[in-house]
Structure 1
Amino acid sequence: MTDRPIRVRYAPSPTGHLHIGNARTALFNYLFARHNNGTMVLRIEDTDTKRNIADGEKSQIENLHWLGIDWDEGPDKGGDFGPYRQSERKDIYLKYVNQLLAEGKAYESYKTEEELQADREAQQANHEMPHYVYEYEGLSEAEKQAKIEAAKAKGLTPVIRFHIPADKTYEWQDIVKGDISIDGNTIGGDFVILKRDGMPTYNFAVVIDDHLMEITHVLRGDDHIANTPKQMAVYDAFGWEAPVFGHMTLIINGATGKKLSKRDENVLQFIEQYRELGYLPTAMFNFITLLGWSPKGEDEIFTKKEFIKLFDEHRLSKSPARFDQKKLEWVNNQYVKKTDPSELAALALSNLIEAGRIAKDPDPKTIEWTRQMISLYIPQMSYTAQITDMSSIFFDDRDSLTEDELKELADDNALPVIKAVAEKLHHLDTFAAYFVNELVNSVRLSSGVKGRKLYMPIRIATTRHMHGPQLAETIELMGRDKVLANIDKTIAEMTK
């Protein structure tokens, strides 16, 4: 742990929407900062202009806020260390590029893409690891300058490459992995720090930004381990102190055991998808926090305040985190049960409108009916979009019953019970759940039929389904006309 005031950053590229893995990175940085009374910085790394998407930054910010993650400095908040978009920091990077050029620690490289490709093919043929071959090897300074002038005469635009020191080992004490040591000769040779379009590359810009923004700790995915020696080399070139690094283990698909890939269509991977399905942000916050981190004890459900209090970076797991979709549904269901029904109803209503079950801009009467209907399903609902299929009995008219349903109606008592219920429902003064329950009890007493042989025929006849929520409440919400029509259709099917 450093003695400096703790400052961390989440630095997404606006090349896509907020992914589960990126959300976890943001969340762990957030918890680390808040636990240690530190500062959280949001920085947008948008130098890869070809891959940036129009609403990439907006998606990141909106979905981070939805998850309950906030920050102290960023493009939307400002701060003393801005600008907080890399595209607005080009002059800053150029200053440090020129310093390295002047000190002989970087140089202009005129190798064309064709020459680089030829090098890669030759290395592959020789079973060598891909690496950059120094284009001025063995040349005197005069010969080097002559080669550069010839390239300029052809109209070639150079990239700027950083000179990796030979035979240097890069070592650091990683928060998650422990001691890491990487031979500098294995990292691919001199790497580009400024592209032909004048934009810096990731491994250069991130060092300049982290140093100038006084970032003390860098928590990120372990796919960045290979980048760390390059970044440490740049820190060394300027004589700067590197931050404390922590590389979190990858997330794997719990069903396949393979690395969670954006191409894996069996797992929903973007926060927006979970928002649209009606998952709750508090549940997502909880679930993602436990992907690669665990508190002491067996509890799995915590509030954000509890997570902030409990967070200990030394409990970040060294083993891959398993993404279990069923576990996420279970976690969300725990929050559903505790959430204000009106909030759930609003989410579920949106899902029903999106599915075309309810018309857009419903009138107050429809909204109230929908809220009552949704409340029947809350206990078993893992996420609110499930309401679309769960509530099908209220929206679909089934032409025929299933074989299993017809078997339930084959009992000799089924038809008399159904007819008795129909007669009483027809004359029921107040069509409400309480009186429906009283009605069913009266049929039970008068017929002597009870248990499954009573309730199953009534449910199938009134709703045209074998399973559903509380029967009396369902009958009330379906309404007298629909219920009686269902009974008539069922009796006709039983007696044909």
Structure 2
Amino acid sequence: DAGEAYVIRLKVPRKEEIRLNDMIRGWVVVHSSTIDDKVLLKSDGMPTYHLANIVDDHLMNISHVIRGEEWLPSAPLHVLLYRFLGWEDTMPQFAHLPLLLKPDGNGKLSKRDADAGGFPIFPLDWKDPASGDTWMGFREQGYLQEATTNFLAFLGWNPGTQQELFTMDELIEAFTVERIGKSGTKFDINKANWYNQQYIRHLPDTTLTEILKAEADKHSAKYDVAKLPMIAQLLKERLTFAKDFWIEGKFFFEAPAVFDEKVSSTKWNAEAVTVITAYKDTLTSYAGTFDAESVKHVLHEVLETAGIKIGKIMQALRLALTGVGAGPDLMQFIEIIGKEEAVRRMEFALVALEEKVNS
């Protein structure tokens, strides 16, 4: 009547144990003396979160409240509200999830941590409308939907078996809240990368070929469509993301302009000049079936004549043909690029090789 502003608080009993059977943590018991009389209605008549949350969940017939462990201290208050409002019989089941921790395990994961670490935590690219800050998404960074789902499911949960790869149907069958751990879980982006590797490797051959074609087209590469399936098969074990098709295999589409200095400094020598020159000349005049087995046979004949073991020359030959010291099966690679291109690449490499040996 005096017109003074006031709030409405919850009168918390002072000598009572408040009990909550959490689906993850089991029985949580808090003494009411540790809970203060929380404001339920503010002086402007608006409800606080605690009251609004309980009423909202009740009216929507919410059966389960699954939220982060930072809300666990508020749970006893919510239990009291359900009781005092006469809704105790319809109170939802609570499950308080463990925190997602920084990759090093020191503290709760934040958007800033993800930004600093260069990894996504949002499903899609997202722009904060208030600050204008942008955050990378799993999809735009090249993570497959199935791999992301599998990775996220294992953040804090385990099936109780050694199985790590699950289809969606298998996850639905195996997942239970009760198998979520109580301790915080490190957000290990390397594990997310591993999941993506596994799912890419198990994609249908036609899908892999389509992805390879799309990546090649992005770089305006020229290619024989008929050879793309074979290239995809040779590269798939080396992929983490679709973009790795080009990173790991651009030499299928274009000849190297430069050569890995670290490899050339140790592997390009007089023996390499001898073998690569002889191999080039032999392939030039070779008129038989040009496939992986035949070019391997030709190489063995060249090596036998030169008296050089294959292990001493393979990396030097690979460098001449691809520009790098490691990659997929070299004989299959030569089959794919064809005789003329293989000879052309060796001719180009020999100029640099001989210059290096003679310098």
Q: Give the TM interval when normalised to the shorter protein.
A: 0.7 to 0.9
1:436 pairs with one of 267, 284, 295: 295
Question: Residue 465 of structure 1 aligns with which residue?
Answer: 324
Q: How does 1:206-245 map to 2 (within 5 A)?
A: 206-229=53-76, 231-241=78-88, 242-245=91-94
> Where does residue 357 of structure 1 map in the other structure?
219
Q: 1:272-330 deviations in whole A, cap 9, x for unaligned?
A: 33333443333333222221112223333333333333333322201112222222333
Contact 1:284–1:332, Cα closer than 8 Å, also in 2:
yes
Residue identity in the other structure for 1:377 = L
Q: Aligned partners of 1:434 and 1:289: how far apart in 2?
A: 45
The equivalent position to 2:314 in structure 1, one of 438, 455, 467, is 455
1:189 to 29, 38, 42: 38
In structure 2, how many angstroms separate the alpha carbons of the residues matched to 1:315 and 1:210?
A: 25
Q: Give runs of aligned pairs for residues 370-389 of structure 1, distance below 5 A.
A: 370-389=228-247
Inter-CA distance 457–185: structure 2 relative to 1 (3 Å threshold) = closer
Match of 2:129 in 1: none
SS of the residue aligned with 1:255?
coil
1:147-296 to 2 correspondences below 5 Å: 147=4, 163-167=9-13, 170-182=18-30, 183=32, 186=35, 189-191=38-40, 203-229=50-76, 231-241=78-88, 242-264=91-113, 265=115, 266=117, 267-272=119-124, 273-296=137-160
Alpha carbons of 1:188 and 1:163: their partners in 2 closer, same or farther (altered >3 Å)? Answer: closer
Q: TM-score, normalised by structure 2?
A: 0.78
CA contact (8 A) 2:8 2:42 kept: yes
RMSD: 3.3
- Go from structure 1 to structure 2 and tell me whether the alpha carbon gap of 1:444 and 1:202 turns closer, same or farther (over 3 Å shift): farther
C-alpha separation in 1, matches of 2:247 and 2:152: 27
Partners of 1:202 and 1:471 lie apart in 2 by 65
State yes or no: 1:314 paired with 2:178.
Answer: yes
Decide whether the 8 Å contact of 1:278 with 1:351 is kept in 2.
no
Any gaps of 5 or more consecutive residues in structure 1? 1-141, 149-159
One-letter code of the match for 2:123? I
1:490 maps to 349
TM-score where L is the length of structure 1 = 0.58
Matched, 1:303 2:167: yes
SS in 2 for 1:441: helix
Aligned-partner residue type, residue 177 of structure 1: R
Return the letter of the residue paired with 1:261.
Answer: S
Asked if structure 2 preserves the Cα contact closer than 8 Å seen for 1:251 and 1:323, the reply is yes
Percent identity reads: 26
Deviations 1:373-407 (A, max 9, x none): 33211123233333232124344733344043232
Relative distance call for 1:349 and 1:161 in structure 2 (3 A) is farther
1:22-65: CA deviations, max 9, x gaps?
A: xxxxxxxxxxxxxxxxxxxxxxxxxxxxxxxxxxxxxxxxxxxx
1:192/1:376 CA distance change after superposition, 3 Å: farther
CA distance in 2, matches of 1:437, 1:195: 84
Q: 3-state SS of the aligned residue for 1:179?
A: strand
Look up the SS of the partner of 1:246 in the other structure: strand
Alpha-carbon shift at residue 469 of structure 1 (Å): 0.9
Q: Distance in 2 between matches of 1:482 and 1:447?
A: 24
Q: Give me the whole-angstrom Cα distance separating, in 2, the residues matched to 1:303 and 1:259.
A: 29
Offset at residue 249 of structure 1 (A): 0.4
| Matched AA of 1:180 | V
Task: Pick closer, same or farther for the CA change 1:472–1:194 going to 2, 3 Å.
Answer: farther
CA distance in 2, matches of 1:201, 1:230: 13
Helix, strand or coil: the match of 1:215?
A: coil
Question: Are residues 237 and 305 of structure 1, via their aligned partners in 2, closer, same or farther at CA, if it must alter by over 3 Å?
Answer: same
* CA-CA distance at 1:184 after TM superposition: 7.8
What is the alpha-carbon distance in structure 1 between the residues aligned to residue 230 and residue 93 of structure 2?
A: 53
Change (3 A) 1:487 1:249: same
1:187, 1:425 → 2: CA distance? 87
- SS of structure 2 residue aligned to 1:302: coil
Distance 1:420 1:234, change over 3 A: same
Query: Residue 266 of structure 2 is aligned with which of 384, 389, 407?
Result: 407
Conserved in 1, the CA contact under 8 Å of 2:102 and 2:109?
yes
- Shift in Å at residue 417 of structure 1? 1.0
- CA deviation profile, 1:211-256 (whole Å, cap 9, x unmatched): 2332222222212324434544543453213211010101113334
What's 2:128 paired with?
none
- SS of corresponding position for 1:147: coil
Equivalent position amino acid for 1:310 in 2: A
> In the superposition, relative to structure 1, how do residues 443 and 161 fare at CA in structure 2: closer, same or farther (>3 Å)?
farther
Q: Which runs of 5+ in 2 are unaligned?
A: 125-136
| 1:62-120 per-position Cα deviation (integer Å, ceiling 9, x unaligned) | xxxxxxxxxxxxxxxxxxxxxxxxxxxxxxxxxxxxxxxxxxxxxxxxxxxxxxxxxxx
